[in-house]
Amino acid sequence: MKRLQWTSEDGRRYLLQTYGKRSRQLLSDEELLEFWQYLKGQPNP
């Protein structure tokens, strides 16, 4: 998230919209892996 220059609020907003959860700690292992892969696939700003 730091590489993408996302704030905590940006991350929280994405998690809520995508998974309906407010934090990474609430994600299942599968969701966390999917989130990590999404972040990894994003270009640098």
CB 39 within 8 A of CB 4: yes
pTM (global) more than 0.75: yes
pLDDT one-digit tens code per residue, 1-45: 888 999 999 999 999 999 999 999 999 999 999 999 999 999 988
Domain ranges of the chain: 8-41
CB crowding 36-45: b at 16 or more within 10 Å, else e:
eeeeeeeeee
